Amino acid sequence: MDLQLAGRTALVTGASRGIGLAVVTALVGEGMRVVAAARNLTPALKATGAVAISADLSTADGPARLVERARAELADIDVLVNNVGGGSVDGATGGFLSFGDEQWQQMFDLNFLAAVRTTRAALPSLVERRGAVVTISSNGARTPHAGPVPYTTAKAALTAFGKALAEEFGPAGVRFNTVSPGTVRTDMWESPEGYGAALARSMGVEHEQLLAQLPADMGMVTGRLVQPEEVAALVAYLASPLAGSTTGGDHLIDAGAVKTV
């Protein structure tokens, strides 16, 4: 299927690995010119053919500086993919009382305010181009007990943010959608230094055992974790003109883990 994205431009954040890397690969494969931003530029990201830019989007001025550099490369931005985020901070496997103000601020800076600031900086170009914004949230926004409470709360705010902007900027021709994956095969779960490994230690089980039982524990009816490329395919469709009447939605891709209507 031709998504009619060839020749258009995109800015993707959190692009060095996992979902972000898969999104960059998919959009470049559709013929888009892509600026890919990450704190650390990996060989895999550089190999995609995107313009890779190092940026720390957890800082107050990082997003605006990134958008300025992206526009220098692309002139205009047709598509913004807000993907940067993460669930690992000190004490991430503890309950509410294990998180202090610093951990809450870290989670909101990376998982919510980075998208707010990047979107704000990119909006003049997106309005001019009648573009699209796709923001990666999490199904944890709908099941906030299922992860670190600062992370799932930040993701719930992110989902609400996309809904609000769809209403405000729809008349200007800009579409906003969020994509809410469940458990995806990324470093967050698979890395020995990631949240999954920390969770396994807190439960007293082997990391591999945790990963093997996650689909069943999470209620994923396919019996397997979501692949980053599956999320990327949905993002590419939502970014495309084929989804011209799709806006204001939160699109689950979690193998049926969320059971509510």
- Label residue 147 by pLDDT band (50, 70, 90): confident
Catalytic amino acids? 151
Strands 250-253 and 132-136: unpaired
The mean pLDDT of 60-64, rounded to a whole number, is: 97
Spell out the domain ranges in the chain.
9-185+227-253
Bridge partners of 18, per DSSP, are: none
Predicted pLDDT at 92 = 66
> Residue 178 contacts by C-beta under 8 Å, 6 or more apart in sequence?
134, 135, 136, 137, 158, 159, 162, 163, 249, 250, 251
Instruction: Give the pLDDT confidence of 225-258 residue by residue, as tens digits.
Output: 999 999 999 999 999 999 999 999 999 999 999 9
The mean pLDDT of 129-157, rounded to a whole number, is: 94
The pair phi, psi for residue 129, each rounded to 5°, is -95, 0
Strands 175-181 and 51-54: unpaired
Per the prediction, the chain carries an average pLDDT of 94
Predicted pLDDT at 194 = 83
- Label residue 202 by pLDDT band (50, 70, 90): confident
Bridge partners of 79, per DSSP, are: 10, 132
Q: What architecture (CATH level 2) is domain 9-185+227-253?
A: 3-Layer(aba) Sandwich (3.40)
31-40, 185-194, 212-221: least confidently modelled range:
185-194
- Label residue 190 by pLDDT band (50, 70, 90): confident
Q: How far apart are alpha carbons 125 and 122 in whole angstroms?
A: 6
Q: In this model, does residue 89 exceed pLDDT 80?
A: no
